[in-house]
Every structure is written in structure tokens, then in C-alpha cells.
Amino acid sequence: MLQRSLLLAAALLAFAGASACGPAVDLINLKIIDPISGFYDAGLKDGKNYLVPSVTFRLQNTGSVHITGLELTVAYWRDGEDGEWDSTLVQRIGNDRIEAGGQSDPITVRAPVGYTLESPRADLFTHSQFKDVTAKIFGRRAGTIVPLGQIRLERQILPHVRASDHRP
């Protein structure tokens, strides 16, 4: 009898804890829209041109429930390699809401690694060491990880933006 009471109490606590987190959200209702990609001109590194993979996109919530507390991971994969080149964790959404049927503000994510060139930036895509890059985007909420999509980076150089030029 005591064991049954303990099991019932544990089940009620688990149910209460789950319901306190808000409604269950199916992350497959998030779609990547308006992608812009390329290689961001990150200026100079050790006196050489430094270009890093960059993606900008919005998330559209096609579901019927708003989404909060979302984390994103953007993993960068170079063509022909067995594993990811690097990845970035983005807590960009945080407590912001993506309303049902709505979309997020633009999200820009740049890789922590990139290409260093002694030659002009425009030579990046013809350099012997260059490999095309795909950004794979994953959403995470309440311990659930869902692939949201991927963006093949365009072969274009995105201009350097000074901090004073950027407006949130």
C-alpha cells in the first residue's frame, strides 16, 4: 500500500512539473525562412584576411502554440569531411516568444572558425584549401532536440559591419 502511494505521489509530481513548463510544443512546427548566407568579412587575423561562415534567417512558427525558451545549435559542415567543422550554441530566442503563426526577428550566426587568406578576399572561392559549407540548424527546448533544416552557404562575401553600423 505504501509503495502504491509513493508511486502515485511520484506520478502526480511528474505531471505537475511537466504542466508547469507550459504547453507541449512540437518543434517540427518551426521552419527556417528568409535565409541569407555567405562568408562574413571578419577583418584581419594575424595580418591576413579572415572570412567566417555566416547565416541569417528567421524562424516561422507554423503551429498553434507560441514558443518560448528555445535554444539553437548551428553546426558547420565542410564538403567531403566526416564530421562537423565547428558549431555555435545560440540562446537567441531565450524568453522571447514566437507567436503561433508568427516569426522571429532575424537571427545571425557566425562560425567561430573560418578561412585565413594572404591573398585578396575575392580569391577565397578559388583557393585550393576552400571547401563549400553547409549550416545544419537544430532547435532545443526542454531537452528535446529537433533538426530544423540546413542552409548551403552561398559563395559570396558578406561585408564587414562595424559595431556602430549595426542597429538591433
Place of cell 558547420: 76
For 25-159, the fitting CATH number among 2.60.40.10, 3.40.50.261, 2.60.120.260, 3.40.50.2300 is 2.60.40.10
pLDDT tens digit at each of 168 positions of the chain: 545 443 434 443 444 444 444 445 678 899 999 999 999 999 999 999 999 999 999 999 999 998 888 899 999 999 999 999 999 998 856 557 899 999 999 999 999 999 999 999 999 999 999 999 999 999 998 888 999 999 999 999 998 766 544 444
Q: What is the pTM of this model?
A: 0.79
As a whole number of angstroms, the distance between CA 151 and CA 86 comes to 15
* CA nearest neighbour of 87 among 77, 76, 97: 76
**What backbone phi and psi angles, to 5 degrees, belong to 133?**
-125, 140
Look at the alpha carbons of 67, 58, 110, 43 in this order and tell me if their dihedral is positive or negative: negative
How many residues are given for the chain? 168
